[in-house]
Amino acid sequence: MTDSAIKRFKTRRAIQAKLAIRPRLALVPALTNSDAPRKREVDHERINAILKVNELDWDRNVSRSEVNSRIAELGTRFDRERTEAMWDDCRRDVLLSIAGPFGVGKIVSAFDKTGGNVDTVHNARSGIYATENERLKHANRVEYDATSYHANKNYIAANERNSSKLEKGSLVDAYTGESFHPSDKNDEQSKPNLDHTVAAKNIHDDAGRNLADLDGPTLANMDVNLNATSASVNKSKKAKTAKDFIQYLESTSSERKARIKEFEAKGLALTDQERKQLSMLQKLEKVDPKRLNQKEAAALAAIDKKINWTYYTSSKFANNLARTSATEGVKMGVQQAFGEVLVEFFVAVFDEINDWFKNGREDGSLLKEIKARLLKIARRCEKKLEAALAAFKQGFLSGFFSNLVTTLINAFATTGKRLVRMIREGFFSLMRGIEMLLFPPDGMSFREAAHEASKILLAGGLVIGAIPLEDWMEKQLALVPLLSSMAGIASAAIVGALTAVVTAFGVYLLDHADLFGVNRDRRCAGTIKLLDASIANTERRIEMVLAGPWIINSGTGPACNK
């Protein structure tokens, strides 16, 4: 038995005890004015009410159906009050979710860029730049000069090592797997060449290298990118990638094999020129695509690792990331803070209009009435300044981190403008949901926090889904002659209103589904609270009856209680 139940039981017993021992005395007028009662009419209704106290008792025979009926009545009352409160909160949350993303957020998103706010190696290689300076720097790069690449000290050292291996007979063709013979150095087609597996010109023109401010000759002449092969293969490959070179070899395979067969049929009758052509064709025929792909993959991995490490650990990247993240934080903070005040403004306007229609004007003058109600609205908005500051803080953090996430994504894949906006809005909802779970308000259990977080995430998910819908709607409205000039505003209004309705309905369904059993517990607790309040109210009324006079006081003499 709970403490409240025990307390109610003791209270009832105390009241019953008072009824049993209360003396039934009357208040009479003073003897000096004994004729006064005969001059007043008797209030029979009051006398009957007072005498009825003697019959006061509790009916202890209560049926189960009566109990269930009373509980159902209180439960219905609680549901009605909870639904009204939920719709009030839902109205505010929906307005906030719309006023932010489709109101102020529409303005904020106008500054979004394809690929985000920070230059990345991936985007630069795709021709997408966040800053004009980097785009111009790459566009105005110096022309490729093969001499500077072949004069690099690492290239020269690698050539010397290969010459030493050739003399020892240990030099192997990286693309065929065959060993060179020392005499090959005298053969124009067979002599070993030092090939840039990833072509030096391609490295020179690589936007990623330029973004990282790396020296082209140094990067191109990494050991992993320098591989020995025959002069025939090197001259045929030129600046081709492994994929392009293999496709070239496959497309010319039939013709090459026919020419080899033709030359071999001549035997010793080959001219010197034909012998050179035969040697070249045989070298090309021996190229192993698997070896070539492996060598290029290793070279590309090393080059990309060097570029990425150099750029993403540079102060240039760190400064740009910090600056743009702070800017995005401020933008998102302003969006949420202004949205908070804007929501309160709309709610206050609706409330004042509703009150005006219900209760009419408080002041006779129309202008004075409007002024008075506008002042009320202004005062309500002013009270939201503290909440606006909290919303700014929350928005700043989500904007800051969403820029980090956007930059991380753009290191691997380019994001469009809409996706940037979706990431920002989605990250804000995610941050709110996580904050609700990790730092719930005082007195809120984890299950209650999870219930509220699920509604936040649902609303955020619907907003994210509405952003591409808004894009589609704007394009469709732009095709209508009369609406083309206002397609942006119209699409935001239409999709915003639609999102509001869907969000409200979705939140209601989610609340009704009660995935975490929160509403069931709240209903039980609320019903018990209403029942306790009803019992306490009955007890207070009984105490008031017991504390009052039992017989009429004529008002002409002092009270007598004993």
| Tokens encoding 370 | 């409007």
φ/ψ of residue 378, rounded to 5: -65, -40
Beta strand 226-230 with 192-196: parallel, antiparallel or unpaired? Answer: antiparallel
Say if residue 135's pLDDT is above 70.
yes
Segment 353-377 shows an average pLDDT of 81
User: Band of the pLDDT at 560, cuts 50, 70, 90?
Assistant: very low
Q: Does the pTM of the predicted model rise above 0.75? A: no
Place of tokens 């005499």: 183
pLDDT digits (tens, 9 = 90+) for 498-518: 776 677 777 777 877 877 877
Residue spans per domain, the chain = 3-61+522-547, 145-312
> Higher model confidence: residue 315 or residue 273?
315
Determine the pLDDT at residue 344.
82
> Higher model confidence: residue 477 or residue 543?
477
pLDDT digits (tens, 9 = 90+) for 425-441: 676 777 777 777 777 77
CA angle 382, 383, 384 (to 5 degrees): 90
Highest mean pLDDT among 169-183, 379-393, 518-532: 169-183
Name the DSSP class of 102.
I
| Tokens encoding 385 | 């300044």
Say if residue 544's pLDDT is above 80.
no
CA pair distance 371, 368, nearest whole angstrom: 5
User: Band of the pLDDT at 98, cuts 50, 70, 90?
Assistant: low
Determine the pLDDT at residue 136.
95
Helical segments of 140-226, H only = 146-150, 153-168, 200-204, 207-212, 216-220
Residues 6+ apart with CB under 8 A from 219: 203, 209, 303, 306, 307
